[in-house]
Amino acid sequence: MRRARPILPWVVWGVAAVSYAVAIVNRSSLAALGPAAQEHFGIDATTLATFPVIQLVVYAALQIPVGVLLDRIGSTGMILIGGVLMLGGQVIMATVNDVGFAILARVLVGAGDACTFISVMRILPEWFAVRQLPTLSQVTALIGQAGQLVSVTPLAFVVDAFGWASGFLGIAAAGLLLVILGVVVLRDRPGGGTMLERWTGRLGRTSREAESLGAASGTGGGGMPPPSTSMLAVVQAPRGGVAGFWQRTRRLLGMPGVRLAYWVHFSSPFAVNVFLLLWGTPFLTGGVGLSPAAASGLLSLTVVSSMVAGVFLGPLSSRFLERRVWIHVGITCAIALTWIAVLLWPGEPPLWLLILLLVVMPLGGPASMIAFEVSRSHTPRSFSGFGTGLVNTGGFTASLLVILLVGFALDLQGAGSPEHYSLGAFKWAFAVQIPFWLLGITMIVIEQRRTKRWMDDHGRTLR
């Protein structure tokens, strides 16, 4: 009689993925509220840009420290810590009118968001077979994008109909429910207890008998195993504290495959992050001249496009391991060329070109997930959380810089408030993206060659 496949891995993954979706709601809660936030706080474009910029600075700055903590205390603890931080941030955002407290709220949201994604990614290899990971990573990202849909249209509607406080307290309530669910469901690995079981000191039967789908399927194959720690040429174990932190960073960055993963993540997602986190609604309404309803509809199209792309890119990158980086480069080039067409179009871009932009640009999000597959192939298991956090700083570093530069460029042209927005000013402002694409693609080409040489020297292949 054939043994039934365990269901617990799917339950754990489901709660973790929904936690990531709620983190996306928190991250992008200003996506369609840029003008409303300027009116609520009485601020200009540069000050508005500081909200997501500070949030992303915190997010990016905490990726490596969170990765270190993740390797020590596990995914469950980090997901719950992240949920509590975001909950606190949104309660503050809902109840204050002072810009200083609003910035504190975005700091807490950024810190909580930083704890979530890499913790969810870290939990997957513990519960699933290696061959399932590329597809599951993309489906996890797809579920996260569902959170983007909530922040684009429903949140804007709630804020417009019921007020600023109601919208953000609603997000906080959803976060509280996920934290409670996480306490009783999430487990770091088979045989590990939930947070509630750890607190009570009683490990239930479900946790004791839990199995990984990798173990159940009898396979962990399908890809190149991570290199052993000895390949990092570490003579002795890294020291603790700041010295150990920088030693780990230097050792990982000494591997071309890790650097390649960083630049892959740097290059493709920043355009859609900039658009969805802040500047999309102002561009479509104040620049192109669309109504708020039409702008929200087009922003929803970006999320749907990203979700559909995630369905196909996971199996595609798993099937064509040797070409996955070039698949990413092709998508990044398509995003850059589409944006350049919009920027160079004389006058107002036609609707078909805007739709093309909002279909092609979101492909950068799922494409950036390839970075974690590259990282998983080249990062030792004992450094996996640290390595994931390091790679994840790439796209968000680019995003925060571009968000800030767009706001600065608008203010420099005297178009930093809704009443002064213009299409020409937005075109010049969005042109700051071009050097970032050029830098990212150039570094990918360089590091891809170095990685191939490293693999040849060590006799390693992707399978």
Is residue 19, in this structure, part of any structural domain at all?
yes
Is residue 1, in this structure, part of any structural domain at all?
no
Tell me the Cα Rg of the chain.
Answer: 22
CA–CA distance, 324 with 305 (Å, rounded to integer): 20
Burial of 205 (0-12, 13-18, 19+ CB in 10 A): exposed
- Containing structural domain, residue 263: 8-214+224-457
CA–CA distance, 354 with 343 (Å, rounded to integer): 11
Question: Average pLDDT by consecutive 10-residue portion of the chain (463 residues)?
Answer: 68 92 86 74 76 80 82 89 93 87 90 89 85 80 78 76 85 92 90 87 83 60 42 43 64 79 92 85 87 80 79 71 85 96 93 93 88 77 70 85 88 80 91 95 92 73 50
Total-model pTM: 0.68
Is residue 85, in this structure, part of any structural domain at all?
yes
* Sign of the C-alpha dihedral computed for residues 242, 248, 253 and 258 taken in this order: negative
- The CATH code of the domain that includes 143 is 1.20.1250.20
What pLDDT was estimated at residue 428? 93
Q: Which two tokens stand for residue 16?
A: 């973790």
Is residue 97, in this structure, part of any structural domain at all?
yes
Is residue 2, in this structure, part of any structural domain at all?
no
Is residue 99, in this structure, part of any structural domain at all?
yes
Residue 435, CB half-sphere, CA atoms under 13 Å: how many?
6
Burial of 452 (0-12, 13-18, 19+ CB in 10 A): middle
Domain count, the chain: 1
Is residue 109, in this structure, part of any structural domain at all?
yes
Is residue 3, in this structure, part of any structural domain at all?
no
CA–CA distance, 366 with 364 (Å, rounded to integer): 6
Three-state DSSP class for residue 427: helix
What pLDDT was estimated at residue 37? 80
Helix intervals (H) in 128-193: 133-152, 154-162, 164-185
Per-residue pLDDT of 313-367, as tens digits, reads: 767 766 766 788 899 999 999 999 999 999 999 989 999 999 999 999 989 988 8
What pLDDT was estimated at residue 352? 93
